[in-house]
A and B are shown apart, each in its own frame.
Chain A
Amino acid sequence: MSDKIRIATTSLAGCFGCHMSFLDIDERLLKLAALVEFDRSPITDIEHCTNCDIGLIEGGVCNSENVHVLREFRKNCKLLVAVGACSINGGLPAMRNHISVEDCLNESYIDGIGVENPQIPNDPELPLLLDKVYPIHEIVKVDYYLPGCPPSADVFWAFLTDVIEGREPNLPYELLHYD
């Protein structure tokens, strides 16, 4: 195995906006590629993560599959990072949290405006929805948080360069945003 720092990333109940923002580091991606190696990530299509240094989690936990993925990341990543508003407080998907799952499904698939052939999807392949959308720190221990919706490319860069160069990560005021 190479000496490169191994990073895994995933999006749970997220919109991939944080991943897009990560890619916004633009040409710094080349510098990063020289220092790190991507394990499980939408960038690589590797299905399971093993022995990673950093796990970046976008999105909250809304279904049973999210729980399994999150636990796999926790087990295999030395440093687990909650990336973006949804992983930190559930974000916009958590706005369903005071509505019952039954009412949510009925509104989306039965009673909603413009629904054709109304039926609630129940294929066994589909992960079951949880009662609520949970911030990831309510399911596993989280080591660091990168707030923002999404965190800017500079936030990713500041965090990763700090960790790669062996410093404790520190976000200056101008990089700290909840939106």
Chain B
Amino acid sequence: MNKTISIDGKTIPFKTGQTIIEAATAAGVYIPHLCHNPDYKPHGSCKLCTVKINGRNCSACTFPATEGQEILNKTPELENDRRKITQMLFVEGNHFCPSCEQSGNCQLQGLGYYLSMKDNHFPHFFANRELDASHPELLIDHNRCIFCNLCVRASQQSDGKNVFVISGRGINKRLTVNSTTGKLKDSNISVDDCAAQICPTGAILKKRTAYAVPIGQRLYDTKKIDEIALEQENKE
């Protein structure tokens, strides 16, 4: 007999070893996320995939599915929590969408739209973050980094390199480049690396490719992130 869990009353089969988000994605149920990518080990840091499992809040990307779990996902309470988390991500960095090359194709922005986020609610940090434009083909704008760890994991797990690391704690947390100068130009990253392409925001960008797609035809202009994520992640 198939083992199943229940998400918002819907019965969903799972295989032993699958996390809740993996089982949900395979069954066509979207759980919002930013730091999760099915190609990499879960990190559990963005907390957007928080679901209520048998009455307790847990991260769906790290929590293993087990027989009979009663899971709440798309409830007003959880969507409200997710909107607050997204607002905190926006005020902690400097996310000025109108001047960002990634606008329209940005997962953070797409999630804001999905959650009907109209304002940032909290007082803004207006943090002073650096820009690293040293590499001839790639750019790091630390203003937009949300510390999802995806570039760190992609570099280690896909590219067989170790270009990035998250250093520091709390408000001093920073994406750091493993090179003698700390500059991207002195690292061994290549423009074709998975790490160079995986950023869910506009923190790591390929130079000279910006604004190629007109407004109205970009990824999240007309299609919601739930539909796009399910399509992409089930293809992989």
Instruction: Give A residues with C-beta under 8 Å from B.
Output: 82, 85, 88-92, 94-95, 97-98, 132, 135, 137-138, 142, 144-147, 149, 171, 173-174, 176-179
Contact = CB atoms under 8 A, between A and B. Distances in A.
The interface centre, meaning the residue of A98, A132, A144 with most chain B CB atoms within 10 A of its CB, is A98
Given A92-B96, A145-B118, A179 B124 contact: no
B98 A178 contact: yes
B98 A85 contact: yes
Interface size class of B (residues with CB under 8 A): 20 to 34
A149 B95 CA distance: 13
Q: Is the interface of B mostly helix, strand, loop or mixed?
A: loop
B120 A135 contact: yes
B224 interface: yes
Given A85-B98, A92-B98, A178 B124 contact: no
Given A145-B118, A176-B118, 14 more contacts: A85-B96, A89-B124, A91-B96, A135-B120, A135-B124, A137-B119, A138-B124, A173-B113, A173-B224, A174-B222, A178-B97, A178-B98, A179-B98, A179-B215
5 contacts: A94-B96, A146-B118, A147-B118, A173-B113, A178-B112
A95 B96 contact: yes
B119 A132 contact: no
Given A178-B103, A179-B103, A89 B96 contact: yes
B32 interface: no
Contacts of B109: 178
Contacts of B119: 82, 88, 137, 142, 145, 147
A88 B117 CA distance: 11
A90 B128 contact: no
Nearest to A178: B97
A97 to B, nearest CB: 4
A137 B112 CA distance: 18
